[in-house]
């Protein structure tokens, strides 16, 4: 499953802080290890782009959104547990 198209993820945060920076780092590591090195991770501050949150169906921050591959998936709340993140973001074995 590693030869499939790379993952595109988008993280929505509320304001930038040291805590959110730590979270972004941890998340990058998790994604590269669990979803492949080509994984793209964008970070959006909902204060700066609330309309983008609306378009991506985001209602809270932090939210991690899988933009592709389809279908779109969202994970809200605590993103510090790599297993929880990968469980939500990785395509399930039956979904491919």
Partner 1 sequence: MPEPDLEAALRRQLRELEARLQESEDTLDAIRRGAIDALVVSGGQQHRVYTLESADRPYRVLIEQMREGAVTLSPDGTILYGNHRLSEMLELPQEQVIGRDLGLFLPEGERPVLAWLLREGGRGELTLRGARGGEMPVAASLGWLAVEGEGAVLCGVLSDLSAQRAHLREVSRANALLRAEIAQREAAEAALRQSQKMEAVGQLTGGIAHDFNNLLTGITGSLELMQEAVLRGRIVGLERYVASAMASAHRAAALTHRLLAFSRRQTLAPQPLSPNRLVEGMAELLSRTVGPAIALRTELADDAGTILCDPSQMENALLNLAINARDAMPDGGTLVIGTANVLATPEACREAGMAPGPCVALFVSDTGIGMSPETAARAFDPFFTTKPAGEGTGLGLSMIYGFARQSGGQAMIESALGQGTTVWLYLPRHEGMAEEAPKGAVATPAAGRGETVLLVDDEAVIRMLMGEALRKLGYATLEAADGPTALRLLQGGERLDLMVTDLGLPGGLNGRELAEAARRTQPGLKVLFITGFAEAAGLDARGLDAGTEMLPKPFSLEALATRIRAMLDRPPSPA
Residues that bind partner 1 (CB under 8 A): 13-15, 17-18, 46-47, 50-51, 53-54, 58-62, 71, 73-78, 88, 94-95
Question: What is the rounded distance in angstroms from the CA atom of residue 33 to the CA atom of residue 53?
Answer: 27
In this structure, the number of other CB atoms found within 10 A of the CB of residue 41 comes to: 17
CB of residue 50 to partner 1, shortest distance in Å: 4
CB 24 within 8 Å of CB 79? no
Is the Cβ of residue 32 or residue 88 nearer to partner 1 in the bound state?
Answer: 88
Q: Pick between residue 37 and residue 55 the one whose CB is nearest to partner 1.
A: 55
CB of 57 to partner 1, least distance (A): 9
Helix (H, G, I), strand (E, B) or coil at 48: coil
Instruction: Please give the C-alpha separations between residue 17 and each of 33, 37, 42, in angstroms, as whole numbers.
Output: 25, 26, 16
In the complex, the smallest distance separating the C-beta of residue 32 from partner 1, rounded to whole angstroms, is: 23
């Amino acid at each position: 499953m590693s030869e499939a198209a790379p993952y595109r993820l988008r993280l929505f945060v509320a304001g930038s802080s040291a805590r959110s920076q730590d979270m972004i780092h941890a998340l990058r590591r998790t994604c590269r290890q669990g979803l492949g090195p080509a994984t793209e991770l964008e970070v959006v501050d909902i204060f700066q782009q609330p309309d983008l949150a609306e378009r991506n169906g985001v209602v809270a921050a932090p939210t991690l959104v899988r933009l592709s591959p389809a279908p779109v998936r969202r994970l809200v709340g605590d993103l510090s547990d790599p297993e929880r993140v990968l469980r939500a973001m990785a395509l399930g074995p039956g979904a491919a």
